Amino acid sequence: MEFLKQFMRPDIIWFLVGVLLFLFELMAPGLIIMFFGLGACLTAVVCMLYKALGINGQLLIFLASSIVFLVCLRWWLKKVFTGLAPKSKEMGINRCEYLGEQATVKERIAPGLRGKIEFHGTDWQAQAEQALEPGTVVEIVGQDNLVLKVRSLGSK
Distance, CA of 88 to CA of 74 (rounded, Å): 21
What pLDDT score does 97 carry?
A: 78
Residue ranges and CATH numbers for the domains of the chain are 2-88 (no CATH), 102-152 (2.40.50.140)
What percent of the chain clears pLDDT 90, i.e. is strictly above it? 47
CA dihedral 48, 53, 54, 57 (to 10 degrees): -100
Which residues of the chain are under the pLDDT cut of 70?
1, 81-96, 155-156
139 and 101 in contact (C-beta within 8 Å)? yes
Q: What's the pLDDT at 83?
A: 59
Provide the pLDDT for residue 4: 73
pLDDT digits (tens, 9 = 90+) for 43-75: 999 999 988 889 999 999 999 999 998 888 877
